[in-house]
Amino acid sequence: MDATKTVTRWPYLVVGVISMLFAGIIYAWSILKAPLAAEFHWTPAALALNFTIMMCFFCVGGVLSGIMTRGMGVKAPIITGGILTFLGFFLTSRMSGASTTVLYLSYGVLTGCGVGMAYNAVISGTMSWFPDKAGTCSGALMMGFGASTLVLGTVASSLIQSIGWRNTYVVLAVAIGAILVVTGLIIKLAPADAQFPGPTKTKAKRGEDFEPRDYTAAEMTRRSTFWRFFLYCILSAAIGNTVISAAKDISLSVGAAAALATTLVGVLSICNGLGRILSGALFDAFGRRVTMLTANAITIAAPAVTLMAVLFNSIPLCVVGLSLCGLSYGCAPTITSAVISSFYGPKNFSLNFSIANTFLIPTSFVATLAGSFVTKTGSFVSTFVMLLIFSIVALVFNLSIKRP
């Protein structure tokens, strides 16, 4: 019997996207931190450190999830991630404000680790059903994760105004925890004997044909190609990550009104989501080389245009620059999951992807470095000069990446 006629796989993608939409709320820290700063008078630096801690433990959770998935499948790490995320948000809602330590341990460690575990396992489980559409599947999942800031972030902001931040954190704890636990009960790895349609071979993709095989994490990390790709990811993602953390301030610096600056943050978020789905579709249609070169071209244009906006106080250029930065950042996670899957095989994807995803740790510190430049100079010029250099060096690494 042809397994392609009996395998039902699209519901897994739908459930995966919904779970990513809820899990991605952690990226709405700029919204969720506002009432904490107002009530407890914590400094911007102290609150920024919480986001950095959260990103670090997001990566730690991903690695733990990859290890668990190898022996237990995706159910255990997704449900565990849901429980940890519930605890993180709930404990944050109970803070007294005497110290930021509770914030760092609850939101930073527990929530970061919980979402990281669920994120890795949901992507691993869902993508196992779409070996022929790795880019499209990855892009849809990443779009859900990236769109959370705009969709649920807006809801959270309204809830904070109506029921207070403590009750809002409790609502988020229950909603995200429940969604992830239910997801863990639904999503599973595709059976080893399942058969799926083969990927479409375009001329561009045939140029990169090679004998596929499954690499262990140790084998993957011993290859120089992996480390060139890892450095490419750090440098490329640094542009969008840095701009996302300061988008409103950048808009205000070129003369945008406060309302327009807030709107541009939403535009950047939309472009972030579009970049994820478009890069995934491009990967499936034309392959890794064309997708990464296209993404790199956007990544170079993004800081270049935004730098011109800052130099000439141009609002139109700022709109274009921020949109390009969003598209650029959206490409990074989709390309990462698609490349790891196609280069190093599906068998060890969960752990291999979690290791590759640790590029987010050094990337998160670039935003901190950029912030120090702005503090010292009072301008974003040096920041975008640095990011433009990063994007050009990323192109050098991109051109050196070959099959494993």
Q: Following DSSP, what letter does each residue of 315-328 receive, concatenated?
A: HHHHHHHHHHHHHH
* pLDDT at residue number 368: 74
Mean pLDDT across the chain, nearest whole number? 87
Min mean pLDDT across 214-218, 280-284, 294-298 is at: 280-284
287: three-class secondary structure by DSSP: coil
Whether residue 232 is found in the same domain as residue 328: yes
Dmax over CA atoms of the chain, in Å, equals 68
- Let me know if residue 199 belongs to a domain: no
Please state the three-class secondary structure of 366-382 as a single string. HHHHHHHHHHHHCCCHH
- Let me know if residue 210 belongs to a domain: yes
* pLDDT at residue number 204: 52
Nearest in space to 243 (alpha carbons), one of 260, 220, 267 = 267
* pLDDT at residue number 32: 87
Per-residue pLDDT tens digits for 314-346 = 999 999 999 999 999 889 888 998 889 888 988
Range of the domain at 291: 204-400
Whether residue 211 is found in the same domain as residue 177: no
Cα(228)–Cα(324) distance, integer angstroms: 24
Cα(129)–Cα(59) distance, integer angstroms: 24
- Let me know if residue 198 belongs to a domain: no
Dihedral (C-alpha) 45, 245, 339, 203: value to the nearest 10 degrees?
-160
Cα(158)–Cα(166) distance, integer angstroms: 13
- Let me know if residue 193 belongs to a domain: no
The pLDDT of residue 1 is above 50: no
Whether residue 355 is found in the same domain as residue 216: yes
Could you tell me what percent of the chain has a pLDDT over 90?
46
Whether residue 90 is found in the same domain as residue 222: no
User: What mean pLDDT do residues 163-172 have?
Assistant: 96
* Cα 150 from chain centroid (whole Å): 14
Number of domains in the chain: 2
Cα(50)–Cα(112) distance, integer angstroms: 10
Indicate which CATH number applies to the domain containing 44.
Answer: 1.20.1250.20
The pLDDT of residue 281 is above 70: yes
DSSP string, 103-151: HIIIIIIIIHHHHHHHHHHHHHHHHTT-GGGHHHHHHHHHHHHHHHHHH
Per-residue pLDDT tens digits for 98-132 = 889 999 999 999 999 999 999 999 998 998 888 87
Whether residue 161 is found in the same domain as residue 208: no
Q: Give the chain's length.
A: 404
Whether residue 220 is found in the same domain as residue 131: no
